[in-house]
Structure 1
Amino acid sequence: MRRVAHEPGYVLHHYDWSESSIIVEAFTRAHGRVALVAKGAKRPSSNFRSVLLPLQPLSLNWSGDGEIRTLKGAEWGGGEVMPTGDALLSGYYANELLLRLLAREDAHPRLFDAYAALVHVLATDRGEVLHAAALRAFELLLLRETGQLPALDLQTLTLTPVSAQGRYRLLAEAGVRAAHADDDAWLIGAHWQALAEAVQDEAPFVATLHAVAGLPGEARGHLRQQLRELLHYHCGIGTLRTRQLMMDLQALS
């Protein structure tokens, strides 16, 4: 029987398995997304109840060879407390993207590090601009790690470099192309070039975060719109559940 010990991970989601147990969808550094049954986790005396929380670094132990493994132990990895408010919703949004776009047992250690860095930003910084830039950086790296992000400094159909002052748009089925006159969201080539360089940096999350934060406000908004369209396309849905929840809460307020 395969055993894994002291594996860094995060809880993405959990759902009921039986009257006393739950299935945990976890994102781990060396094993990617895994499904773990936490037996007895709903009992008041279970040690899992206070540990298996989202957006918290964990050390996980499990065993088994099936599609769903058996969780043997979980310990809090230390660090920050759980994000709150809009930052918490942003974290749930990142979790939903991982659940929809990552196959099980497909390791992405660089993406795991980017996710951990995103959680750190959401938990420790209250700046809305930085939170938004961190989310855009994570979205870009998620798309790149899953092979769904075209080269941002090339026009996809012709493979010709973008011009620094030209206007370009990122589309799900066409990649990067010259913006049309009626396009309402685009970035100039210099911005795409900066983002292309950042996602390939040795420290990609930090570099991409700085690249996004350095964009003018209007360009950050255009990037957000284009990435949202691309992510929805690859997720195969019109609106993510967490996105709909955000819009509903904004409408109430």
Structure 2
Amino acid sequence: MKRVNHEPGYVLHRYDWSESSVIVEVFTRAHGRMALVAKGAKRPSSNFRPVLLPLQPLVLSWGGDAEIRTLKSAEWGGGHVMPTGEALLSGYYANELLMRLMAREDAHTRLFDAYAALVHVLAAEKGETLHAAALRTFELLLLRETGHLPALDAQTLTFAPLEPDESYSLVAEGGLRSAHEGQGAWLPGRGWLALAEALDDEAPFTAVLGVCASLPGEQRASLRQQLREMLHYHCGGGILRTRQMMIDLQSLPS
């Protein structure tokens, strides 16, 4: 039986397996998304119960060669506590995107590092603006690492370079293309060029986060709309559960 020891990871989702056990979908740095059965995890005395929580850095060990491996140990990796409030919902949203867009056992070390950075920002209680910028950063890196993001320094169909003062829209079926202000979501060429340069930085999460946070309010909202539409398209349609939850909560009377 193949044994993997002391692998950094995060719980993305969990569901019942039997009266006493659960299956956890985890995102690990060197092995990608894995399905692990945590035997006895629902028992009051289980060491897994207080540890297998979402948005917490973990150190995992497992064994087996079946599609669903057997979790041997799980320890808290330290560093921060779980996000709360809207930041918690944002973390669940990121988890759902990973579940939808990542195949099992397909390693994405750079995406894992971006996810870890996102969770750290969400747990730090640094304000809605920074949390939103961190989400946009993660969405961009997720689209790039899964092969769904076109080059952001040229128009997709013509390969024509972007003009800093012209307007461009990112669309799921056509990539980056010329747009007209006031007609749908768009960003100026200089915004897309700044994002393209930041994505190629040695520390892409930090670099892209800086660009997203520095965009004017209207452009931040426009970028959010364009990325959400692209993610919705590549997730196969149907509203995300976490997105519907956010909508439902916002509709509640204050």
State the alpha-carbon separation in 2 of the partners of residues 244 and 196 from structure 1: 31
State the alpha-carbon separation in 2 of the partners of residues 208 and 63 from structure 1: 37
- Structure 2 gaps of 5+ residues are none
Cross-structure match for 2:188: 188
| Counterpart mapping for 1:1-253 below 5 A | 1-180=1-180, 183-252=183-252, 253=254
Deviations 1:74-130 (A, max 9, x none): 000001110000000000000000000000000000100000000000001331000
State the alpha-carbon separation in 1 of the partners of residues 248 and 198 from structure 2: 34
State the alpha-carbon separation in 2 of the partners of residues 180 and 78 from structure 1: 48
Asked if 1 retains the 8 angstrom alpha-carbon contact of 2:167 and 2:181, the reply is: no
Alignment length (residue pairs): 253
1:167 aligned partner, one-letter code: S
Deviations 1:149-179 (A, max 9, x none): 0001110000111110000000000000001
State the alpha-carbon separation in 1 of the partners of residues 105 and 39 from structure 2: 21
Q: Which moved more, 1:234-243 or 1:7-16?
A: 234-243
Specify the SS of the correspondent of 1:117.
helix
Q: Over aligned residue pairs, what C-alpha RMSD do you find?
A: 0.8
Distance 1:181 1:217, change over 3 A: closer
State the alpha-carbon separation in 2 of the partners of residues 141 and 235 from structure 1: 15
State the alpha-carbon separation in 1 of the partners of residues 104 and 156 from structure 2: 30
Give % identity. 75
State the alpha-carbon separation in 1 of the partners of residues 33 and 223 from structure 2: 28
TM-score (norm 1): 0.99
Measured after TM superposition, the shift of residue 137 of structure 1 is: 0.1
TM-score (norm 2): 0.98
Asked if 1 retains the 8 angstrom alpha-carbon contact of 2:155 and 2:178, the reply is: yes
Distance 1:126 1:64, change over 3 A: same
State the alpha-carbon separation in 2 of the partners of residues 96 and 24 from structure 1: 13
- Structure 1 gaps of 5+ residues are none
- Name segments (4+ residues, structure 1) moved above 3 Å: none
Specify the SS of the correspondent of 1:6.
strand
State the alpha-carbon separation in 1 of the partners of residues 9 and 183 from structure 2: 41
1:135 aligned partner, one-letter code: L
Measured after TM superposition, the shift of residue 182 of structure 1 is: 5.8
Measured after TM superposition, the shift of residue 184 of structure 1 is: 2.2
Deviations 1:1-46 (A, max 9, x none): 1100000000000000000000000000000000000000000000
Measured after TM superposition, the shift of residue 180 of structure 1 is: 3.9
Measured after TM superposition, the shift of residue 237 of structure 1 is: 1.8
